[in-house]
């Protein structure tokens, strides 16, 4: 495969069960064959997407001191600012040349889960920019609803009840991550200098990109293929948790970001399930011998993140 499939999601919103199953089958083929796909007809207005990129630019343009005041090092819940070169998605290759800003589900300080110190149930850091929080949460909510729609397609393709995942997505672990890559092409010999070669950790990633090239996907033949910007579409990919849950029926895929020739922005929405949900292959593919032991989503995600941020004093 030399390019990623483009899938219209209009069928998943149809009242016709056959149309929903047909779209689900397209998603399933992509999840089995390459683990990456584009989605169109996703229901998120273009103005909302453009607004999210404007938010990303404003937060990364803040003085370093203001960004560091919101550092992810101050959060045990994977929220806040990640400074340039602070993350190593592929530790063997070195630090990633990017900065990021993470937002999770917005909990008030007096929420029972926050007071109890439950993992991934913390408060967000908010930039001191008028209207920023409200616009960011609007984009977050749109992505969450899109993620739930895609999961209905996964359920149908896997032969489950269409709403199997609904019970696991009532208050899920979800992270909106804004990313900024400075122009570094020619200054490094690392082909994954923007973001080290890795697979994502959760269930599904919904990625919006600008027009600057960089994202590459390792296909099943061992070749790196480009994932260029497609106007009006999101790039989606399967994460390791869903691969585990499906007993490797769906397969997550290594990918990387090459050092861009000019400044690049991207916005990723990482969707896991509820932190207490049990990820057990026997629930999804009961006719197969399970390759993995049951684990809660929170336990699994914490194990992966703690390996990525080896510098953090507080870990999830």
Could you read off the pLDDT of 233-290 as tens digits, one per residue? Answer: 999 999 999 999 999 999 999 999 998 889 999 999 999 999 999 999 999 999 999 9
Position 245 scores a pLDDT of 98
User: Is 98 inside a domain boundary?
Assistant: yes
The share of the chain scoring above pLDDT 90, in percent, equals 82
User: Is 25 inside a domain boundary?
Assistant: yes
Question: Using CA of residue 73, residue 79, residue 81, residue 84, what is the dihedral sign?
Answer: positive
Task: Between 91 and 16, name the one with better pLDDT.
Answer: 16
Domain carrying residue 37? 6-308
Position 285 scores a pLDDT of 96
User: Is 121 inside a domain boundary?
Assistant: yes
36-40, 61-65, 118-122, 161-165, range with the lowest pLDDT = 118-122
Could you read off the pLDDT of 135-158 as tens digits, one per residue? Answer: 999 999 999 999 999 999 999 999
User: Is 84 inside a domain boundary?
Assistant: yes
Q: How many domains does the chain have?
A: 1
Position 305 scores a pLDDT of 79
User: Is 10 inside a domain boundary?
Assistant: yes
Among 284, 76, 77, 269, which Cα is nearest to 168's?
284
User: Is 283 inside a domain boundary?
Assistant: yes
Position 308 scores a pLDDT of 58
User: Is 315 inside a domain boundary?
Assistant: no
Could you read off the pLDDT of 153-209 as tens digits, one per residue? Answer: 999 999 999 999 999 999 999 999 999 999 886 666 688 888 999 999 999 999 999
Both tokens of 182, joined, read: 């400075």
Could you read off the pLDDT of 76-87 as tens digits, one per residue? Answer: 889 999 999 888
Overall average pLDDT of the 34-57 stretch: 97
C-alpha pair distances (Å), 159 with each of 153, 241, 246: 10, 19, 11
110-114, 276-280, 305-309, range with the lowest pLDDT = 305-309
| CA–CA distance, 68 with 108 (Å, rounded to integer) | 22
Among 237, 238, 231, which Cα is nearest to 210's?
231
Residue with tokens 């992505």: 143
Per the prediction, the chain carries an average pLDDT of: 93
Q: What is the 3-state secondary structure (H, E, C) of the chain?
A: CCCCCEEECHHHHCCCHHHHHHHHHHHHHHHHHCCEEEEECCCCCHHHHHHHHHHHHHHHCCCHHHHHCCEHHHCCCCCEEECCCCCCCCCCCCCCCCEEEEEECCCCCCCHHHHCCCCCCCCCCCCCCCCHHHHHHHHHHHHHHHHHHHHHHHHHHCCCCCCHHHHHCCCCCEEEEEEEECCCCCCCCCCCCCEEEECCCCCEEEEEECCCCCEEEECCCCCEEECCCCCCCEEEEECHHHHHHCCCCCCCCCEEECCCCCCEEEEEEEECCCCCCEECHHHHCCCCCCCCCCEEHHHHHHHHHHHHCCCCCCCC
Task: To the nearest 10°, report the CA torsion of 64, 258, 142, 109.
Answer: -40
User: Is 55 inside a domain boundary?
Assistant: yes
Q: What is the CATH number of the domain that holds 131?
A: 2.60.120.330
């Amino acid at each position: 495969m030399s390019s990623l499939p483009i899938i219209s999601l209009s069928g998943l919103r149809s009242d016709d069960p056959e149309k929903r199953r047909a779209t689900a089958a397209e998603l399933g083929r992509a999840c089995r064959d390459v683990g990456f796909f584009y989605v169109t007809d996703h229901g998120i207005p273009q103005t909302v997407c453009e607004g999210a990129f404007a938010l990303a630019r404003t937060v990364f343009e803040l003085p370093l001191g203001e960004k560091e005041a919101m550092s992810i090092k101050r959060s045990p819940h994977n929220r806040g600012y990640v400074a340039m070169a602070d993350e190593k998605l592929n530790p063997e290759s070195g630090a990633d040349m990017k900065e990021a800003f993470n937002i999770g589900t917005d909990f008030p300080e007096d929420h029972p889960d926050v007071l109890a110190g439950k993992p991934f149930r913390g408060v967000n850091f908010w930039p001191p920019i008028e209207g920023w929080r409200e616009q960011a949460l609007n984009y977050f909510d749109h992505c969450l609803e899109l993620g739930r729609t895609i999961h209905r397609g996964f359920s149908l393709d896997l032969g489950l009840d269409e709403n199997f995942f609904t019970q696991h997505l009532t208050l899920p672990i979800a992270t909106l991550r804004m990313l900024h890559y400075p122009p570094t092409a020619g200054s490094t010999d690392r082909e994954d200098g923007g973001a080290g070669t890795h697979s994502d950790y959760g269930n599904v990633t919904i990625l919006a990109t600008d027009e600057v090239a960089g994202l590459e996907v390792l296909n099943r033949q061992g070749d790196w293929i480009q994932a260029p910007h497609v106007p009006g579409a999101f790039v989606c990919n399967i994460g390791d948790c869903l691969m585990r849950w499906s007993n490797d029926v769906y397969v997550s895929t290594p990918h990387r970001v090459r050092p861009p020739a000019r400044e690049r922005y991207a916005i990723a929405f990482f969707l896991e399930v509820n932190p207490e949900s049990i990820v057990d292959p026997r629930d999804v593919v009961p006719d197969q011998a399970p390759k993995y032991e049951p684990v809660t989503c929170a336990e699994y995600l914490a194990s992966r993140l703690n390996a990525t941020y080896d510098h953090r004093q507080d870990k999830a």
